[in-house]
Amino acid sequence: MQEKDLFKLIHMIDKINNENIVRFTKAFPYPLGISPILVLSDLKTNGVQKQVDLADKLGYTKGAMTNIATKLLDLGLAEKVFDETDRRVIQLRITPAGKKALLEAQAIGQSLFMQHFEALNEEEIKQYFKIQEKLLKHMKDQK
């Protein structure tokens, strides 16, 4: 692939990602981006966790994780859990409101992607899926 074509492809991917973010942000009733939603998802899936463990697992700095946790706590989407044996250890747990917000985020995301893929026919969707699988495998093989 020529460098010019590669940059055009990268630019198009950025435009699609940005459009998805704008549409999601308009539809989602909480002042949150994708990072706090990923934290909520991990808390729902894996249960109570320390902020430092979440940061390491999701690839966030400790400072970024502190900001994310503060937002989630302020909105009542997560709560602090203190370790009974060591009160200095503070963990996060998703609240019922957090589970509701996560379900809303997932429903909005699914709806947006359904709209997104309406533009493709069945064969194009199969091709797109194979390309995405190939790219993901390549990325994982490079680790």
E strands, the chain, in order: 49-50, 78-82, 90-94
pTM for the whole structure: 0.84
pLDDT tens-place string over residues 44-68 = 999 999 999 999 999 999 999 999 9
Q: Which residues, listed in sequence order, are joined to residue 81 by a DSSP beta bridge?
A: 91
**CB-based contacts of 101, cutoff 8 Å, min separation 6:** 30, 32, 37, 40, 75, 77
**Using CA atoms, how far apart are residues 55 and 64, in angstroms rounded to an integer?**
8
pLDDT tens-place string over residues 61-100 = 999 999 999 999 999 999 999 988 888 888 999 999 999 9
The domains found in the chain, sorted by start residue, are 3-141 (1.10.10.10)
Q: Would you state the pLDDT for residue 1?
A: 65
